[in-house]
Amino acid sequence: MTKVLEAKNLVRDYHVPGSLFKPARTVHAVKGVSFSVEQGKTLAIVGESGCGKSTLARMVTMIDAPTAGEMLIDGETVDITRQAMTPKLRRKVQIVFQNPYGTLNPRKKIGDILGEPLIINTSMSAADRKDKAMAMLKKVGLEEKHYARYPHMFSGGQRQRIAIARALMLNPRLLVLDEPVSALDLSVQAQVLNLLADLQDEFSLTYVFISHDLSVVRYIADEVMVMYYGEAVEYGTRDAVFSDPQHAYTKTLFAATPRADVESIKARLARKSAA
């Protein structure tokens, strides 16, 4: 199977300038992380807030350059400090953020929002851009009548569908999903996760799925990487990591996650009554 993304010992440091009372310091956000994702598969990156998940996402999407290490997309080394971002390279990787309303321009209609990536990165005509936007709205479960509406006229789940549609307008090879369902209700989460699974099957998409919700990760991931203070402390198939975690932090993370099945709820109530 083709490796769409490969990372080798990625490091990201941030320099924090000093002040009158504090000396300058360096924050080691990501410390030598390596992983790869095959075409059509999903790598889930999990961990607590501040563990380096989103920093890693910014490097994968070429927003930030790694301080050290190497990243390859479709077998080609990518270094944004030495090479300009070409439209071809930009089309390969897209991102969907946690808060869709914060990423959609409230002054633009949905059709304009979906067409904007095509204006910037392609030479498609206005008619072709509209046709593609209409088709993509249907792919994500919306209707053509939504083309002329504004973001505030949609629910949170619908706005996230629009954000997903925009990310797919350029036919990317890799989609980075940074907490894409954490701001949604449980029933809407399930709908969006099912949509992502269907789109992955249809377009053979590759996902890097960032989340702290282990139930979501267990549903969607093929492989799981657990991060702790900028390091990858556990990395393996979903079944292996969930059934037999090796690192102490992974075990603690799983133990701290509430289970929603009936037996677990009864057990918690029994412990509470006994206490």
For residue 19, pLDDT beyond 60: yes
For residue 53, pLDDT beyond 70: yes
Give every strand in the sheet of 76-78, ordered side by side.
25-38, 3-16, 68-73, 76-78
- Tell me, what's the pLDDT at 8? 95
pLDDT grade for 261, boundaries at 50, 70 and 90: very low
CA distance 19 to 33: 31
CA distance 206 to 4: 7
| Average pLDDT score over residue span 160-185 | 93
Choose among 60, 64, 63, 85: nearest CA to 72.
Answer: 60
Q: At what angle do helices 126-139 and 110-121 cross, to 10 degrees?
A: 120
| Average pLDDT score over residue span 183-207 | 91
Q: Which region among 71-85, 211-225, 254-268 has the lowest average model confidence (pLDDT)?
A: 254-268
Q: Which residue has the higher pLDDT, 183 or 51?
A: 51
- Highest mean pLDDT: which of 72-76, 166-170, 212-216? 166-170
CA torsion through residues 12, 104, 191, 200, sign: negative
Q: Is 238 left (phi over 0), alpha (psi -120 to 50) or beta?
A: alpha
For the chain, the domains span: 3-274
Predicted TM-score (pTM) of the model is: 0.88
- Tell me, what's the pLDDT at 263? 59
What fold characterizes domain 3-274? Rossmann fold (3.40.50)
Q: Which residue has the higher pLDDT, 272 or 241?
A: 241
